[in-house]
């Protein structure tokens, strides 16, 4: 594995994140990471405004690079940067900065896929020996909502989904010496409309909540009660869409509930809002879990991971643990993994690694 000092840059959406990392041969430990989150800049618009996002990246990126890197400017060996996918203007700021620094220092620039970053964010700062293959990864954020199956290349040669789970005898993986090219990374499902995070944002906006909607809905739901007046549909889709998601029906349902209040001339009480948030969150989480669990069973997965910022939703993680018969813990927010029945269930060890961050971009470079 590479033992170099790396500058990593992530700017694909509304987080400007810079990390400087020396691979120390132990469990993907991050030395230094700084970030600027644009949440407060976009809050008044109720979502990310692409034109504003790239202008803020432009303003912040050099300051952050300077802050993290001034003392080690001549020591860096390589630069890794997010190249795709996401907001073109935002990506261009990271890429231009990376290439300018690379040119100046005569160092290589390695372009990295953002989604692979989320998938392998699961390796950061944990006991990686617990992560066995095949692994089902649910990537879920404001822009992504997909299920991936990760397996050894030689265990999964077929493009045909039903042929993938051939033989899982040797599921141990030496992650320190594993390259992405050693793995089969197969997307088996995606959302047909909104991503879960996006639907949280939209429903929060309808209810007069703040951006980002996920944390707002979660906080309201803590005071919510089960209320049969506000039951949201769980959209399963038909057999040929077995692992795909759809959240637009839930959004329409929220709209109908709010319209009903408007027509009656009565505003929803605080308790109504909390109950709606609770029921909506339950429906989104049930849908995510239903599809994810099917994939886990069908592909005989040894590891189940959830990544992306929605993985910070404690109720989602709690419900998933409950599916595996786990009900007792001290403080759910600190629970980021569980080992049960030969299955390892996990999410990124820090909330920072669930969001768009440069550390995950470094991991992908390391495995390239
Ligand atoms: O990963 P991220 O920063 O952006 C993308 O790469 O798309 O995810 C942002 C999304 C927002 O839609 C936000 O509402 C959602 O993640 N989110 C949550 C929670 N925290 C953030 N959704 C549900 N529950 C949460 N606790
Ligand atoms: Zn992302």
Q: DSSP assignment, residue 317?
A: H
In angstroms, what CA-CA distances link 252 with 206, 248, 257?
11, 6, 9
Which positions ≥6 away from 100 have C-beta within 8 Å?
Answer: none
| For range 205-224, the mean pLDDT | 96
Distance 25 CA to ligand 1 centre (A): 31
The per-residue pLDDT for 69 is: 78
- What distance in angstroms lies between residue 131's CA and the mean position of ligand 2's atoms? 22
For the Cβ of 198 lying below 6 angstroms from any atom of ligand 1, the answer is yes
CA dihedral 150, 155, 158, 160 (to 10 degrees): -60
Kindly give the distance from the C-alpha atom of residue 205 to the centroid of ligand 1, in angstroms, as a whole number: 14
pLDDT at 314 over 60: yes
Which atom of ligand 1 is found nearest the CA of 212? 14
Q: Please give the Cα distance from 41 to 53 (Å, whole number).
A: 8
For range 8-32, the mean pLDDT: 86
In angstroms, rounded to a whole number, what is the distance separating the alpha carbons of residues 131 and 336?
A: 13
Residue 101's nearest CA partner among 81, 115, 87, 83 is: 81
Helix (H, G, I), strand (E, B) or coil at 186: strand
CA distance 71 to 313: 37
pLDDT for residue 160 is more than 90: no
Select from 250, 309, 350, 356 the residue to mutate for testing ligand 1; criterion: most ligand atoms less than 8 Å from CB.
Answer: 309
The pLDDT value given to residue 166: 42
Strand, coil or helix: 4 = coil
Residue 85, CA distances (Å) to 81, 175, 200, 274 in order: 12, 25, 22, 35
Best residue among 201, 212, 354 to mutate for probing ligand 1's pocket (most ligand atoms within 8 Å of CB) is 212
Whether ligand 1 lies within 6 angstroms of the CB of 268 is answered as: no
Identify the residue whose C-alpha is closest to ligand 1 atom 26.
313
Residue 201: nearest ligand to its CA?
1
Q: How far is CA 224 from CA 79, 230, 254, 255, 278, in A?
A: 47, 11, 15, 19, 5
362 CA distance to ligand 2 middle (Å):
14
Q: How confident is the model at residue 124 (pLDDT cuts 50, 70, 90)?
A: very high
Nearest C-alpha to atom 23 of ligand 1 is from which residue? 214
Mean pLDDT to the nearest integer, 103-121: 96
Has residue 158 got a pLDDT over 70?
Answer: no
pLDDT of residue 25: 64
Euclidean distance between CA atoms 161 and 239, whole angstroms? 13
Find the DSSP H helices in the chain.
39-42, 50-69, 88-105, 114-120, 196-206, 213-221, 248-264, 270-298, 314-323, 358-366
- Full-model pTM: 0.92
Average pLDDT over every residue of 168-176: 64
d(CA 331, CA 334): 6
pLDDT tens per residue, range 177-202: 889 999 999 999 999 999 999 999 99
């Amino acid at each position: 594995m590479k033992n170099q000092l790396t500058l990593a840059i992530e700017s694909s959406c509304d987080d400007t994140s810079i990390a400087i990392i020396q691979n120390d041969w132990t469990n993907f430990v991050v030395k230094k990471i700084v970030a600027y989150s644009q949440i407060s800049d976009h809050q008044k618009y109720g979502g990310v405004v692409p034109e504003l996002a790239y202008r803020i990246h432009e303003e912040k990126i050099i300051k952050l690079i300077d802050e993290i890197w001034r003392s080690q400017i001549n020591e860096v060996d390589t630069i890794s940067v997010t190249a795709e996918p996401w907001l073109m203007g935002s990506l261009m700021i990271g890429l231009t900065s990376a290439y300018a620094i690379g040119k100046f220092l005569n160092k290589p620039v390695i372009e990295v896929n953002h989604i692979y970053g989320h998938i392998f964010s699961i390796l950061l700062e944990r006991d990686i020996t617990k992560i066995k293959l095949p692994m089902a990864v649910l990537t879920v954020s404001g822009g992504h909502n997909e299920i991936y199956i990760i397996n050894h290349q030689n265990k999964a040669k077929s493009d045909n989904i039903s042929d993938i789970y051939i033989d899982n005898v040797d599921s141990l993986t030496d992650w320190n010496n594993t390259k992405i090219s050693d793995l089969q990374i197969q997307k088996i499902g995606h959302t047909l409309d909104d991503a879960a995070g996006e639907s949280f944002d939209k429903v929060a906006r309808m209810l007069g909540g703040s951006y980002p909607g996920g944390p707002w809905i979660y906080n309201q739901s803590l005071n919510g009660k089960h209320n049969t007046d506000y039951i949201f549909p769980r959209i399963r889709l038909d057999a040929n869409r077995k692992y795909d998601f759809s959240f637009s029906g839930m959004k329409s349902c929220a709209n109908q509930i709010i319209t009903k209040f408007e027509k009656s001339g009565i505003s929803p009480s605080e308790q109504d809002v909390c109950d709606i948030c609770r029921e909506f969150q339950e429906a989104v989480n049930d849908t995510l879990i239903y599809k994810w669990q099917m994939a886990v069973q069908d592909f005989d997965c040894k590891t189940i991971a959830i990544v992306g910022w929605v993985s910070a939703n404690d109720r989602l993680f709690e419900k998933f643990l409950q599916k595996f018969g786990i009900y007792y813990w001290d403080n759910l927010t600190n629970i980021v993994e569980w080992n049960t029945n030969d299955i390892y269930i996990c999410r990124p060890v820090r909330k920072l690694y669930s969001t768009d961050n440069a550390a995950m971009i470094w991991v992908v470079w390391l495995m390239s």
